[in-house]
A and B are shown apart, each in its own frame.
Chain A
Amino acid sequence: ETGVTQSPTHLIKTRGQQVTLRCSSQSGHNTVSWYQQALGQGPQFIFQYYREEENGRGNFPPRFSGLQFPNYSSELNVNALELDDSALYLCASSLTGTTNEKLFFGSGTQLSVL
């Protein structure tokens, strides 16, 4: 149990729709990262938020956006869904600024786009 919770666990959308995925970080963590894991692939870095500001972005289009709230919970928003967006979306929290930074992953949200 990592203390990182994601909701919903499963979601089905149709092409062109918008989706919001949520993540509750482990208590005390100030950084959240989002990863996309397509079937049979390793996770790919989408972006990271530190103290409510975007702190790095991977090779994902602008229709992938995020938010981090004052309580360090986070959202991942995807607009204009495409079939290739079907994947497991993983949220990971960490505490930036310590000597032993470590990512704690949630169990993910499985998104299916039809």
Chain B
Amino acid sequence: AQSVTQLGSHVSVSEGALVLLRCNYSSSVPPYLFWYVQYPNQGLQLLLKYTSAATLVKGINGFEAEFKKSETSFHLTKPSAHMSDAAEYFCAVSGSRGDQKLVFGTGTRLLVSP
């Protein structure tokens, strides 16, 4: 079985500051990991995904995440926050490539102040 834990239900940063959203996973098989973003009154949008090709994954909107097997982590980062990054971010895991049955974390709300 797979699961993910997102540390911190809320993260606050200033515009221009580093964004770091934490995700740790648990999986009995090599995991496939995802980060999704959800803006108010909208569905989820894929930011990036890890499918074992490379440990550092670059996504849209300047986000990237690094898979660290030794730490069972897949933290999301962005060097410089923008006001438009304010949203809810979800980490998710599946057990195989192409498996669309994702297990999501509880989410982290990113707040960006001017």
Contacts and interface: CB of A to CB of B under 8 A. Distances in A.
B45 A105 contact: yes
Interface string A97-110: 00001110111100
Interface residues of B, number: 18
Majority secondary structure of chain B interface residues (helix, strand, loop or mixed):
loop
B105 A42 contact: yes
A8 interface: no
B100 A101 contact: yes
Interface residues of A, number: 25
B90 A42 contact: yes
A42 B100 contact: no
Nearest to B51: A100
A90 interface: yes
B101 A33 contact: yes
Interface of B: 9, 41-46, 90, 92, 98, 100-107
